[in-house]
Amino acid sequence: MLRCDTWMLFCLMISGTIHLNCTCSEHALHQALFKDYNKLLRPVKNQSTTTFLKSNTDVYSIVSVNEQEESIDLVLWDVHTWQDEFLQWNPNDFDNCTSLFVPASEIWQPDYVVLNLLNREPIISDNVLYVRIDSNGLVSTGDTYYATLRCDMDITAFPFDTQTCSIVGMLWLYDRFRRIQKSII
């Protein structure tokens, strides 16, 4: 039996058949949380509160390096976490339900972009991309995709060259208003 607070993706990796046995009242919880939820606005009660975005990008595999075009094809795994003040609850009120999974499209998300991304192909389609919400309002997203990144390459030492390729991420609009701060975990 897998507990309902186990990462759904992790469950998928370790077992072909999944029995998510959730004894907590997920339907009641979902109804209570999303009754008046507005995903269009940054989820803070006081607009002067800063939202902290923690981001981590892992490289799953390097598919190819194209030195002529100065680009690299990778499979990336992005994890972002932040606090949503409107998605908090007391587990005691919902049969000890400490976390909930909902489609990512249901909640507010930061406008995170990778500036040197030339192309992106999703591996998980948008309609099955879920986020995990913990009862303290911590939201965690995990997404994996094929990425073509642009990198400056110096090939004068080829074939004994070493290249350094950065992933340049920013919050597109929010960064300019300093209402979200980001950090790398």
Ligand X SMILES: *[C@@H]1O[C@H](CO)[C@@H](O)[C@H](O)[C@H]1NC(C)=O
- Binding-site ranges for ligand X (CB under 6 A): 1, 19, 21, 23, 46, 48, 95-96
Rounded to a whole number of angstroms, the minimum distance from the CB of residue 49 to ligand X is 7
Nearest-CB residue for ligand X: 46
Q: Kind of pairing, strands 180-184 and 51-66?
A: parallel
Q: Which is nearer to ligand X, 100 or 167 (CB)?
A: 100
* 3-state DSSP percent of the chain in helix, strand and coil, to 5: 15, 40, 45
Rounded to a whole number of angstroms, the minimum distance from the CB of residue 18 to ligand X is 11
- The stretches of the chain forming alpha helices (DSSP H) are 8-14, 26-34, 174-177
Q: Which is nearer to ligand X, 50 or 105 (CB)?
A: 50
Coil/strand/helix, residue 170: strand
**Bridge partners, 150 (sequence order):** 71
Rounded to a whole number of angstroms, the minimum distance from the CB of residue 95 to ligand X is 4
Rounded to a whole number of angstroms, the minimum distance from the CB of residue 162 to ligand X is 48
54: its two tokens = 């923690």
Rounded to a whole number of angstroms, the minimum distance from the CB of residue 132 to ligand X is 20
Place of tokens 């999303």: 34
Report residue 57 CA to chain centroid gap. Answer: 9
Q: Which is nearer to ligand X, 1 or 13 (CB)?
A: 1
Q: Which is nearer to ligand X, 38 or 156 (CB)?
A: 38
Question: In degrees rounded to 5, what are phi and psi of residue 121?
Answer: -125, 120
Candidates 106, 94, 80; CA nearest to 182 is 80
Q: Which is nearer to ligand X, 23 or 119 (CB)?
A: 23
